[in-house]
Amino acid sequence: MFGLDTLGKAVGQLVNGFETNVRQGQQQLEKALGDAGVLDAATLSTITEMSDAYRTMAEDLLLHPLRFAGAELDLARKHAALGYYTLARLVGKHKKPVVEPEADDRRFQAEEWHKHLPFDVLHQAYLINSQAFLNWAAGMEGIPPAGRDQMLFYARHLTSALSPSNFPATNPEVLRITWERKGMNLIDGGRQLIEDLRQNPSLFNVGMTDRSAFEVGRNLATTPGKVVFQNELMQLIQYSPTTETVSKRPLLIVPPWINKYYILDLTARNSFIQWLVNQGQTVFIVSWRNPGPSLRDKGWEDYMELGPLAAMDAVTEATGEDQMNLIGYCIGGTLLGSTLAWLKKKGRNPVASATYLTTLLDFSDPGGIGVFINDHSIRGIEKMLERKGYLDGRAMAFTFNLLRENELFWSFWTNNYLKGQKPAAFDLLYWNTDGTNLPARMHSYYLRQMYLNNRLVKPDSLNLLGESINLSEIDVPSFFLSARQDHIAKWKTTYKGALAHGGDVRFVLSGSGHIAGVINPPYKEKYGYWTNDTLVPDADAWFEKSEHHPGSWWPHWLEWIARFSDGDVPARIPGEGKLPAIEDAPGSYVKVKAAEAVKQ
């Protein structure tokens, strides 16, 4: 008998054949467009991944019609409830909304969305439909976790893009402003759009802050100091002391080169660097060069050799100290772990303690960026890197913004271009848009060996500067700081990295996210942190027995690192040691913009 099973098999065969033809067509189209130079390979691979996700959803409709029908019935019930709500409002009765935005969804906060019935119904209908679509996508069967995350990512972006808040005719707040300003808001918004396009030639990024309000060295990165060493990849800054005596062992910071170092020195009051100086530390920091095509062949080993290794030698020359304390932030911490494992193999011991700030050593769960981590996407990125020699820092910033698209893209789209409002002056967002490029060789290595293959955490799987490295052999005391809401370096994954690290390891969990969880000065008394000196295999079990403390983690860390200070010495003045001052902090490397670096 011709039953549902037979029909399902037939549909499955049809879908498989269709999928094979589509994939072959996609490969031919990718090659044709890539060869013609219409789109770069990275963009083409992203478009292909997106179309694959949407095609998978369409196939699910054919293969599981009953599940889709059930979702449709639930959707119909909610729309019926919305109809009753509408009738109640029409006759003047107060009725609770059928659906309300999530607590952190600010798109529909304006009074006009709730005051005027058509827009009240419109935004509720949108929320009902979008949530139903996302729930249906999440419930699809037979999809591996990585594929499911990618599909949900693109499904979420589709629903976010279609929000009525993003269009002038369906946003009541925009309509009101347009009426009041006689359309000048749209003219002002158009001017801002043109300016943003001019500021980002060949690569559009929405304006997030008033760029004219900030200047590195004038009101950002203002902690006094001197550049005392430099090479083709970095400048080394030594900061001027504010205390008569300082810890004998200096402190070297290795920041990320995906962003600029001055996230640690935004303004004096919020500056982690200034706070460290005020606590009697001799602080050095690496300021990475913003690379262009000429540095395309610089790899992970070059960043290690010309970065922390060269900086440690320079710190020793400047201070006369053979041992120092190190801090690594984000990918700077990943490089720090690589360096310490290499130093152990070489039998060298210049590091007294290591601090890792929101650092991935284990990449088994790469967070939100994981939707772009697969062989197909990386091959597309590598083709683009081979052609250009670098990854544009503006593209990287845009990618990270897409992980929180409503907050970091569409909200600015609406405010800037529809409402005609000039972005506010916000130092953190200025830093966020001041991106850095990434050399082709280094970035390919980082994506493949760390993110895709997770080789750093595998003993003796990576060979750096002639030595195979093993994180478990490191015996330097270490302090891991992670952030509970971090979507870039998820705290449970950083915890796995801490378990893989040898030596005496302390793990501390801060509140908030990747930036605010770290840049949390004591005067704010915000977020708090959790401690538990006993590491156990399971992160949840560690957290369950942890102790919560109010306020900033900074003083807690200072108590920990005091054990490795080796006493006090008279304050050191930058440039008065064996390394003469080259120029004033913040130096020249940090001032180079991503678009300018491409021309060098």
Q: Is there a domain that residue 500 lies in?
A: yes
pLDDT, residue 44, reads 58
Angle, CA 405 vertex, CA 399 and CA 409 arms, to 5°: 90
CATH at residue 335: 3.40.50.1820
415 within a domain of the structure (yes/no): no
CA dihedral 418, 419, 420, 426 (to 10 degrees): -110
Within a domain: 318: yes
Written as one letter, the residue type at 210 is D
Q: Tell me 578's DSSP state.
A: S
Among residues 296, 327, 358, 333, the alpha carbon closest in space to that of 456 is found at 333
Q: How many domains does the chain have?
A: 3
The two beta strands, 251-254 and 283-288, are parallel
Q: Are residues 302 and 168 in the same domain?
A: no
264 & 295 share domain: yes
Residue 173: strand, helix, or coil: helix
Position 149 in a domain? yes
- 551 with 569, same domain? yes
Residues 6+ apart with CB under 8 A from 32: none
| 336 and 245 within one domain | yes
Q: Does the residue 202 lie in any domain?
A: no
Specify the pLDDT at position 24.
47
What's the CA gap between 262 and 590, in Å, rounded?
Answer: 8
- Kindly state whether residues 336 and 479 are assigned to the same domain: yes
547-549 and 529-531: which strand pairing?
A: antiparallel
Residue 412 lies in a domain: no
Catalytic residue numbers, as ranges = 330
Question: Which of 563, 587, 562 is closest to 574 using CA atoms?
Answer: 587
Residue 285 DSSP SS3: strand
Distance CA 259, CA 454 (A): 22
Straight-line distance from the first to the last Cα atom of the chain, in angstroms, rounded to the nearest whole number:
73
| pLDDT at site 202 | 66
Domain check: are 6 and 51 in the same one? no
Spans of the chain below 50 pLDDT: 1-26, 28-30, 32-39
DSSP labels, 392-457: -HHHHHHHHHHTTHIIIIIHHHIIIIIS-PPPP--HHHHHHHS---EEHHHHHHIIIIIIIT--TT
318 shares a domain with 281: yes
Looking at the fold, whether 123 and 133 belong to one and the same domain comes out as: yes
Q: Give, as one character, the DSSP assignment of residue 218.
A: T
Q: Which residues contact 10 (CB under 8 A, 6 or more apart)?
A: none
Distance CA 242, CA 249 (A): 16
**Planar angle of CA 554, 217, 582, nearest 5 degrees:** 95
Q: Determine the pLDDT at residue 204.
A: 75
Rounded Cα–Cα distance for residues 253 and 251 (Å) = 7
Q: Which of 236, 214, 219, 294 is nearest to 588 (CA)?
A: 236
Same domain for 26 and 64?
Answer: no
Max distance between CA atoms of the chain, in angstroms, equals 93
CA atoms within 13 A on the CB side of 522: 10
pLDDT of 492 reads: 97
The amino acid that residue 144 corresponds to is P
| 169 and 292 housed in the same domain | no
- pLDDT at position 37: 45
Q: Do 56 and 143 sit in the same domain of this protein?
A: yes
Please indicate, yes or no, if residue 188 is contained in any of the structural domains: no
In terms of residue numbers, what domain contains 118?
39-181
- Position 3 scores a pLDDT of 45
Among the three residues 181, 209, 235, which one is the final residue of a domain in this structure? 181
The answer as to whether 13 is a domain residue is yes
Cα–Cα distance measured from residue 170 to residue 187, given in angstroms and rounded to the nearest whole number: 18
For residues 5 and 96, membership in a common domain is answered with no
